[in-house]
Copies of this chain bind each other. A is one copy, B any other.
Amino acid sequence: MSVTKTLFPLVSVDVALFSIERDRLGVLLVKRANEPELHRWALPGGVLKPDLDANLESAARRVLQAKISVDVPHLEEVRTFSGAERDPRGWSVAVLFYALLPADRVQAVISSKIEEAKWAPAARTGHRLAFDHDRQLDAALGALRRKVEEHTLPLHLLPSRFTLTALQHTCELILERRFDKAAFRRRLKTSSDLQAVPGEFVRGVQRPAQLYEARPGFTFARSSS
């Protein structure tokens, strides 16, 4: 290891990109095309470039654009992973973010892939991921679930207009448990994050279902009331 690397740690960003696909919470994995960990599945990530990146979140957006040609509406920082052991290139800091991609854009991401990429079930990917990315994915999934447990609505995972049934189902897929429909709807009535789209309905099993959308200014960063 060179003196430079000892004095200046490698700083990178990794992103757990979640979406609803095939009726489950999915995470996007990319197969590494370079050493170290060549050919291993990993979260998309890359090394910070101070000459290109305004800050770490910008770096994460650049990496998503470069690796899988996607812009995400929302990035949330989870935590750092650091130390001498996690990357064979030397002492490193990885800053983990998660991002939410609307379900109707899942197909676009797969078809635009520059390298091999796929969606895997977020809770059980079926792979041992590169570096400490298994731990990172656990941390990102935990952070997303905590937000939804705290009643923050995962509206960025839904199409721009959605039914309350679709919203409840999305929350259930994230938390892997069922909600009581009446209690869920009572909670939504006090939410300032949602609004009905006047006159817009979809055919339901019994009666037409009202379509909703996020209120202007909705942000996943704060908890919903």
Which residues of A from 61 to 88 have beta carbons under 8 Å from B?
77, 79-80, 82-84
Query: Judging by beta carbons under 8 Å apart, are A80 and B83 in contact?
Result: no
Q: Report A97 CB to chain B, min CB distance, Å.
A: 10
A82 to B79, alpha carbons, bound, how many Å?
14
A109 at interface, CB cutoff 8 A = no
Determine whether A7 belongs to the interface, using a CB cutoff of 8 Å to chain B: yes
Q: How far is the CA of A91 from the CA of B54 in the complex (A)?
A: 9
B91 pairs with A50, CB closer than 8 A: yes
Q: Count residues on chain A whose CB falls below 8 Å from chain B CBs.
A: 25
Interface residue from B6, B51, B54, B55 paired with A50 (Cβ < 8 Å): B6
Q: Which chain B residues border A116 with CB–CB below 8 Å?
A: none
Tell me the A196-220 residues at the B interface (CB within 8 Å): none
Is the beta-carbon distance between A50 and B4 smaller than 8 angstroms?
Answer: no
> Could you list which residues of chain A lie within 8 angstroms of chain B, going by C-beta atoms?
4-11, 48, 50-51, 54-56, 77, 79-80, 82-84, 90-91, 93, 95, 150
Show 30 A/B contacts (Cβ-Cβ < 8 Å), sorted by A.
Answer: A4-B4, A4-B8, A5-B50, A6-B50, A6-B51, A7-B8, A7-B50, A8-B8, A8-B9, A8-B10, A8-B11, A9-B48, A9-B50, A11-B11, A11-B93, A48-B93, A50-B84, A50-B91, A54-B83, A54-B84, A55-B82, A55-B83, A56-B80, A56-B82, A77-B79, A77-B80, A80-B80, A80-B95, A93-B93, A150-B150
